[in-house]
Every structure is written in structure tokens, then in C-alpha cells.
């Protein structure tokens, strides 16, 4: 009897006659194993294969980090990488991949993608993902979208903030937001996940426990974020040039940044309370990392730094990638990792939180792999520790 099992590091199954036997099994790229039935010479044969991955839009910074993580994943095979214009080898675009991944950048139709993979990571620009996702989903391919196409819940809000109509409007409001710390169970059941924005991840995680526990007000929240230049992407922009960024820190998008409605929407969903924020992002002269400081109004004057930190620790006690710390964290503490370090203090009538993430890992590619692991029933931390 030939069975195809879910790809997992450990498989448990019944051998025979109601007797439970356990097989510890570490899967190989494509492998077969036989397990004897209890009390007989008959065998059950199992086939386990790697999950085939295609990365759409593989020339950017987040795609590079995604490839590096997936190359460490024992149950993944990257079968193709795409670009709309570039036809070089991926190792020519990203020289750090030389000898690790030698695939040509291809331009693939949706039908080509469907025939070659089980899961797509879409690193395409905004609105491009939503143009290809419907056909992929219709043919059973799971999609993790790293753009903003499916993060907002209404086509009207999307058009207001992104200045163009949504290509797949009927799906909005039904797509799982890929923040495992809040929506883990829904992610495990999803075929399409909207990977969170980097700024929203750094702001949502410290605020949700405080608002949900009635420690702070859900309105009049100030969010001040500092990001490395890689957060602006790899395409050439005047304000991303070395001479513009070096020895300079500058605010941008005050009151107009597209992550504002995403932050408000997800905090409101996660807490059940309507949330409003003032979001002020800044570009800093470093390659990577985000430091976010939030200022929220206290609801009880009896709250102290000690009990707020304890609340955060209890809320995230079982989360593998969140560390609540007693000191003031910096971006180097989490550089190159999928971890979030966060802390809190009370100053006057406000609670101040500070959180740090690597914008390219927990803010993008690491979160995407974390979601992938949940969607395909792999241990959540696979390739991320």
C-alpha cells in the first residue's frame, strides 16, 4: 500500500491491530521507507518528497533573504525564480548565492507556475501579486504574498491608500493576515496568506497585549519608527542613494504612510477595539533593522513597569520568536534573525514600548517562512533558528 504523508519531521501512525507504534523519520529530498506490520512480514511503503517552491520577483532584498532561509530548510526545493525583465542567473544578481543556488531568472506564465510547484512566495510589486494569485489558488497552489495586495480588508481602502483599483477585490476581507502570534490557527488552514508589513509587525506586537488587557487606550496612540535603508527596496530612488542617506536621518510619509491603515486594522481585529494611531516613519543611515517606539495613554494609574513587563511575558510566553527584555533593545540585538525584542516602561500617564526587528527577516522573509511552515505542517521554527 502506497501512502503519501504530509511533509513533517516526525510521523506517527498505527502499525496494526490497534497497537500504536512510533516511527521517528527524517525526510530526505525524495525517499522511500518501509515499516513492517506488527506480527507479519508485510510492509507498508511511504513516500515523502520535498515541497517545491517558486519565488516570484527574486531580484530584491527580501527575495535574497528568503532564498538564504529556504536553502537551510530540509524539506524545501526551490525549483524556479522569476523576474519580469532580468534573464541572468540568480547568483549573478545576488553574488552571495554563488555555488548555493544556480538557477536562471525566468519569466513564467501562471500555467507554468502551476505545473511546477506546490507553493509560491510572491515578492512582486503591489497589485502584481493579486493579478496572478487567483489562477494559482484555483489550481491548488498555496501562495504567500509579501506585497501589500491582500493586507487590507476592503477594495475602497486599498484604492485610497495605494491609488489604484485592486485586481482581486472580492477576496479582500477573507485573506489571513500572516502574523502567527495572533492568527496561528487560521494560518495553518490557509491557502493564501498576506505577509505583514515590517513597520506593522514592530508596532502591532507590543500594542495588542496592552490594549487587549485594558492597560492602555486604543486611541491616541503615537508610533515612531526608524528603519534601515533596505526597507526602501532595491530599486533606484533618489532618497535611497548613499549620498542622500549617509550621515542623515529623515522622516517621511507623516500621516500618509500606507502602513497606517494596516496597523489600525490588525490591532482592531486582534483586540476587538477600534484603534487609531499616528504613525511617523524615519529612514536611518543603516542597512537593516527597525526600532519602533509607541506611546499609549494609561487607563489605570496603578500600572507599573514591572507588571506591564510581566503582562507582556505572559502574553508571549509560548511564542518562539518573541523575547520580552528588561533593558532597552537595539537593532543589532536581532540583526539577521527572526526574533522580536521588546520592552516597556511607564512615563507619566503613558506606557512607552520599544521593539526591534530585522526588517528583512521578521519584517518580511523570516515571517514568510514561519507562515509557510504552519501552512505545510512543518515545525514552525524550521530554518529560522
pTM: 0.87
93 and 106 within one domain: yes
Q: How confident is the model at residue 244 (pLDDT cuts 50, 70, 90)?
A: confident
Q: How confident is the model at residue 236 (pLDDT cuts 50, 70, 90)?
A: low
260 and 211 within one domain: yes
| Distance spanning both ends of the chain, measured CA to CA | 37
DSSP string across 177-188: E--HHHHHHHHH
Q: Tell me what the mean pLDDT of segment 221-231 comes to.
A: 93
332 and 308 within one domain: yes
Residue 366 lies in a domain: no
User: What per-residue confidence (pLDDT) applies to 15?
Assistant: 35
151 and 92 within one domain: yes
214 and 121 within one domain: no
User: What per-residue confidence (pLDDT) applies to 153?
Assistant: 96
The sign of the dihedral angle between the CA atoms of 371, 377, 378, 380 is positive
340 and 214 within one domain: yes
Does the annotation mark 198 as catalytic?
yes
Q: Quick one: what percent of the chain has pLDDT higher than 70? A: 87
- The string of pLDDT tens digits covering residues 120-173 is 999 999 999 999 999 999 999 999 999 999 999 999 999 999 999 999 999 999
Q: Of the listed 11, 117, 198, 245, which one is catalytic? A: 198
Cell numbers found for residue 237: 530612488
Q: How confident is the model at residue 41 (pLDDT cuts 50, 70, 90)?
A: low
User: What per-residue confidence (pLDDT) applies to 240?
Assistant: 76
Amino acid at each position: 500500500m502506497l501512502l503519501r504523508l504530509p511533509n513533517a519531521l516526525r510521523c506517527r501512525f498505527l502499525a496494526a491491530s490497534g497497537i500504536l507504534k512510533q516511527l521517528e523519520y527524517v525526510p530526505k529530498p525524495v525517499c522511500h521507507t518501509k515499516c513492517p506490520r506488527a506480527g507479519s512480514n508485510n510492509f507498508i511503503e511511504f513516500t515523502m518528497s520535498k515541497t517545491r517552491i517558486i519565488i516570484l520577483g527574486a531580484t530584491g532584498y527580501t527575495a535574497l533573504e528568503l532564498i538564504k532561509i529556504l536553502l537551510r530548510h530540509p524539506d524545501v526545493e526551490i525549483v524556479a525564480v522569476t523576474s519580469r525583465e532580468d534573464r541572468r542567473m540568480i547568483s549573478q544578481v545576488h553574488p552571495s548565492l554563488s555555488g548555493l543556488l544556480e538557477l536562471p531568472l525566468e519569466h513564467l506564465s501562471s500555467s507554468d507556475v502551476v505545473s511546477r510547484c506546490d507553493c509560491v512566495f510572491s515578492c512582486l510589486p503591489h497589485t502584481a501579486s493579486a493579478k496572478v494569485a487567483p489562477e494559482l489558488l484555483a489550481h491548488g497552489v498555496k501562495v504567500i504574498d509579501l506585497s501589500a495586495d491582500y493586507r487590507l480588508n476592503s477594495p475602497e481602502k486599498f484604492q485610497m491608500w495605494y491609488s489604484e483599483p485592486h485586481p482581486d477585490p472580492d477576496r479582500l476581507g477573507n485573506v489571513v493576515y500572516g502574523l502567527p502570534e495572533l492568527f496561528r490557527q487560521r494560518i495553518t488552514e490557509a491557502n493564501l496568506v498576506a505577509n505583514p508589513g515590517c513597520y506593522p509587525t514592530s508596532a502591532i506586537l507590543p500594542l495588542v497585549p496592552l490594549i487587549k488587557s485594558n492597560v492602555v487606550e486604543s486611541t491616541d496612540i503615537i508610533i515612531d519608527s526608524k528603519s534601515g535603508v533596505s526597507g526602501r527596496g532595491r530599486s533606484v530612488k533618489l532618497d535611497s542613494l548613499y549620498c542622500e542617506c549617509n550621515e542623515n536621518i529623515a522622516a517621511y510619509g507623516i500621516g500618509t504612510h500606507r502602513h497606517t491603515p494596516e496597523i489600525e486594522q490588525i490591532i482592531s481585529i486582534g483586540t476587538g477595539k477600534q484603534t487609531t494611531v499616528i504613525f511617523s516613519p524615519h529612514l536611518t543611515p543603516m542597512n537593516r533593522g527597525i526600532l519602533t517606539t509607541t506611546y499609549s495613554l494609561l487607563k489605570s494609574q496603578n500600572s507599573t513597569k514591572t507588571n506591564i513587563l510581566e503582562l507582556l511575558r505572559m502574553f508571549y510566553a509560548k511564542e518562539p520568536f518573541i523575547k520580552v527584555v528588561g533593558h532597552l533593545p537595539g537593532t543589532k540585538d536581532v540583526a539577521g534573525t527572526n526574533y522580536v525584542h521588546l520592552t516597556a516602561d511607564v512615563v507619566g500617564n503613558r506606557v512607552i514600548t520599544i521593539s526591534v526587528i530585522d526588517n528583512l527577516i521578521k519584517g518580511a522573509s523570516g515571517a514568510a517562512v514561519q507562515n509557510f511552515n504552519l501552512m505545510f505542517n512543518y515545525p514552525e521554527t524550521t530554518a529560522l533558528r
